[in-house]
């Protein structure tokens, strides 16, 4: 079973530690109240049933809006209502100590088997489909919803009969000013024999301004600037058809993905304008 204690890194549901979560709450709370001065709304939209929480995250590896969303969840629902966050499996290769801490909070490897195991346990899932391309998108695209062409989260929702609850944020992408992405250029160097950092394909290779490096190249860890963050939980999205057949219908999956992206973009546009 993927939740076995002996399974590979990221493949355990049992590493989640409510005591660790409660110990982190004051730390997160200080950043929430004083550093990012978070304003949030729409949490009454959260359904009582299981669902797929879908976000577009920002601000480099620190991803402060994601962390503040996690804090908001535990602040409202405590540790008893289960939610697991899907994380790129490279996390366990690049930074094992951070990955282990993330697992105590509820992070698991982004793989269909792990997602289904969490759902079967009664949990909802927090998903950021755009991954590295989303969190490191250039500053000029900070108000753009980016899924990087990924549709697996839609297939999962359709197969498991889950509504999607989008969450959007404004401000977090100003905590790290990403000037450009030079991945394609660096990829050419890799093809000539230059190894990837940590021997992991990072999918992006940004140039950015931020703490603590000033100007930096590559997807390095960063400390976010103290910019106010606003988040909005959007109304749930229910699709007309669910089931395995719906999940295998490419045109239908594409239509559902476009519906989610369009509604999230509209909500982000409103949040940004406000």
- pLDDT of res. 2: 54
Rounded Cα gap, residues 229 and 174, in angstroms: 9
For residue 212, say if its preceding peptide bond is cis, omega within 30 degrees of 0. Answer: yes
Which runs of consecutive H residues, i.e. helices, occur in 8-54? 18-30
Please say if the pLDDT value at position 26 is more than 90.
yes
Q: State residue 240's pLDDT score.
A: 96
pLDDT at 230: 96
CA separation for the pair 185, 175 (Å, rounded): 25
User: How confident is the model at residue 9, as a pLDDT?
Assistant: 65
pLDDT of residue 263: 96
Q: How far is Cα 52 from Cα 31, in angstroms, rounded to an integer? A: 26
Cα–Cα distances in Å, from 27 out to 68, 105, 241?
Answer: 11, 13, 42
Give the pLDDT confidence score for residue 60 in this predicted structure.
87
CB hemisphere CA count around 242 (13 angstroms): 12
Alpha carbon distances (Å) from 174 to 142, 208, 223: 8, 11, 12
How confident is the model over 220-267, as pLDDT tens digits?
788 999 999 999 999 999 999 999 999 999 999 999 999 999 999 999
What confidence score (pLDDT) does residue 86 get?
93
| Count of C-beta atoms within a 10 Å radius of residue 20 | 15
Q: Is 9 exposed, middle or buried (0-12, 13-18, 19+ CB in 10 A)?
A: middle
Proportion of the chain above pLDDT 90, given as a percent: 69
190-228 residue pLDDT tens: 788 777 766 666 788 889 999 888 888 877 788 999 999
Q: Are 268 and 56 in contact (CB under 8 A)?
A: yes
CA dist 165 and 145 (Å) reads 15
125-178 tens-digit pLDDT = 999 999 888 999 999 999 999 998 999 999 999 999 999 999 999 999 999 999
Q: How deeply is 162 buried, as exposed, middle or buried, from its count of CB atoms within 10 A (0-12, 13-18, 19+)?
A: buried
φ/ψ of residue 252, rounded to 5: -70, -40
Express each pLDDT in 54-109 by its tens digit.
998 888 888 999 999 999 999 999 999 999 999 887 777 767 778 888 999 999 99
More confident call, 221 vs 270: 270
What pTM was estimated for this model as a whole?
0.91
Which pLDDT score is estimated for 108?
93
The predicted structure's pLDDT at residue 5? 44
The answer for residues whose C-beta is within 8 angstroms of residue 219's C-beta and 6 or more apart is 60, 61, 132, 136, 197, 202, 204, 205, 206
- Is the CB of residue 86 less than 8 Å from the CB of residue 109? yes
């Amino acid at each position: 079973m993927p939740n076995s204690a002996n399974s590979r890194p990221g493949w355990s549901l049992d590493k989640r530690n409510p005591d660790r979560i409660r110990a982190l709450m004051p730390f997160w709370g200080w950043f929430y109240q004083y550093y990012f001065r978070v304003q949030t709304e729409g949490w009454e939209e959260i359904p009582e049933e299981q669902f797929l929480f879908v976000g577009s995250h920002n601000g480099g590896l620190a991803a402060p809006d994601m962390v503040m969303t996690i804090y908001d969840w535990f602040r409202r629902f405590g540790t008893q209502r289960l939610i697991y966050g899907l994380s790129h499996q490279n996390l366990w290769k690049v930074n094992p100590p951070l990955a282990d801490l993330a697992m105590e909070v509820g992070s698991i490897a982004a793989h269909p088997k792990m997602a289904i195991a969490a759902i079967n346990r009664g949990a909802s899932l927090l998903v950021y489909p755009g991954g590295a391309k989303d969190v490191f998108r250039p500053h000029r695209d900070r108000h753009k919803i980016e899924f990087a062409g990924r549709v697996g989260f839609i297939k999962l929702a359709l197969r498991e009969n889950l509504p999607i609850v989008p969450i959007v944020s404004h401000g977090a992408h100003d905590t790290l000013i990403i000037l450009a992405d030079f991945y394609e250029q660096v990829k050419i160097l890799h093809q000539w024999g230059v190894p990837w950092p940590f021997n992991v394909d990072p999918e992006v290779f940004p140039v950015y301004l931020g703490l603590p490096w000033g100007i930096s190249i590559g997807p390095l860890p960063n400390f976010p600037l103290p910019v106010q963050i606003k988040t909005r939980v959007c109304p749930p999205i229910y699709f007309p058809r669910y089931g395995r057949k719906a999940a295998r219908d490419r045109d239908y999956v594409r239509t559902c993905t476009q519906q989610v992206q369009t509604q999230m973009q509209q909500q982000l546009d409103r949040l940004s304008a406000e």
